[in-house]
Amino acid sequence: MSRFFTRERFGRPQFLAGALLFIFLAQAVWLVRCEFRTSDAPPESEQIRLAAGWRQLHGGGIAGSPYPDPAGELPPELVRDSHGFDIEHSPLLPLVTAAPLLALPQRLLDAGFSPYWRWMARIPFLALGVFLGASLWYVARRLCGNTGGFFALTLYCFSPSMIQGSALWHVDPEILAAWGSFGAVFTAIAVAHTLYAPREVVLWNWRRIVLLGISLAIAVGSQFSLVIVVPVALTFMLYVAPVRRGAALVIWVAAFVVASLLLFATYFFHLNAFTQSMRAASFWGATWHGFAISGVYEKALSQILRGCPALVLLLPVAVVTYLAWPRTRYFGNTAPGLLALLFIILGIAHPDPSGSGFLFASIPFLFIFVSGVIADLAETQYRLMVTACAGGLIGAYILWSLLALLQVSRS
């Protein structure tokens, strides 16, 4: 036990990261409080998720497989086929939304007690926002050092989109998909790095195999079109461990089996509902017509900048520096940059609600890419100028985010 509580695990960096994540959580809780103060009932889509998840948890049918409601009563973000099957999501989101309410007595779940039980439905997503922030800090710190790690975490903790996504403030619950896709990719990379150790491959990696399987299941279960992370994870594993590609393939197959079983579990192992949902699921749904419409690019750019207004300056600087300076073109910068680009392309290619999910999921990868390049610039002879410019921009960014929250409370 004494080896676990070391300065490497619980030191000053971890304390500072925890403080930033606490500030992030406070902002998200503030948004939830503002919404509940002005609204007596959950949004329609949240009501449907709650009802579907509650029915499934009490043996009343699998959520979205199919929806029992008439087609006209469903909001546009819940897309289903002619038989009522949700083509975009598994029952994972309804189950995550409704599961906390099991802790409350049945008599407290009526409309009169909504100010209390509505908080319960938001707790999982508030926690997911913190988990994604912690994961981003851990990955960015490993790839870019302390400077890059804290720069990325600061961008995340004051990101309007990430705060909204965790609070579910007038947005869809895309935070779960973002965490799953982020975790799947970087867990695959971490697993591949362990293959260089002279140990038994599959047996020694069983914890990481399970973790990779969970990440894949979360990503695909929260948005079917995120199945793209499955081949992406394999691609990175084969690239990172070229001399152990056979072992990497075995681990990937094992993780895929774990993910499939976990996805099946969200259907409570009802084989008929699972097979019909998989037939109806939209695992691709991309169309290239969006690339010919200028409005699609404007919408994508708007969503990315809403994720972090500071990217209007940081992203061009990072891209130009990456292209012009060979020192920045290493795996720690290239991998998140390519992933962000892939997700943005897929976001433009999907005209349905899943396109918004891809754009949302691209933002954490953009944070790591930008932070890695800024950390490289901070190690040059222009360190003082880079630090001053980055610090001033971050200060303005934090102030802007906090002022925007205050305006929400007054509206």
Task: Judge whether 368 and 136 are in contact, CB under 8 Å.
Answer: yes
For 388, other C-beta atoms within 10 Å of its C-beta total: 11
Give the pLDDT score at 195: 83
- As a whole number of angstroms, the distance between CA 197 and CA 52 comes to 46
pLDDT-derived band of residue 68, with 50, 70 and 90 as boundaries? Answer: confident
Task: Judge whether 107 and 99 are in contact, CB under 8 Å.
Answer: no
pLDDT-derived band of residue 290, with 50, 70 and 90 as boundaries? Answer: confident
| Sign, Cα dihedral of 309, 314, 316, 322 | negative
For residue 86, list its beta bridge partners.
Answer: 80
Give the pLDDT score at 108: 62
Task: Judge whether 390 and 151 are in contact, CB under 8 Å.
Answer: yes
Give the pair of three-digit tokens for residue 87: 């083509």
pLDDT tens per residue, range 138-172: 999 999 999 999 999 999 999 999 999 999 998 88
- Whole-model pTM: value is 0.93
Please give the C-alpha separations between residue 194 and each of 68, 200, 216, 275, 398, in angstroms, as whole numbers.
47, 10, 19, 35, 38
Task: Judge whether 304 and 162 are in contact, CB under 8 Å.
Answer: no
Q: Where are the domains of the chain?
A: 12-38+122-410
Give the pLDDT score at 77: 66
Long-range interactions of 394-401: CB distance < 8 A, separation 24+: 394/151, 394/154, 394/155, 394/310, 396/310, 397/155, 397/158, 397/308, 397/309, 397/310, 398/154, 398/158, 400/309, 401/27, 401/158, 401/159, 401/160, 401/163
Nearest to 163 by CA among 28, 308, 34: 28
pLDDT at 105 exceeding the cut of 70: yes
Q: Would you call 110 helix, strand, or coil by DSSP?
A: coil
Give the pLDDT score at 231: 97
pLDDT-derived band of residue 7, with 50, 70 and 90 as boundaries? Answer: low
* Lowest-confidence segment of 105-114, 164-173, 291-300 by average pLDDT: 105-114
Give the pair of three-digit tokens for residue 364: 């954490």
Give the pair of three-digit tokens for residue 239: 């690239």
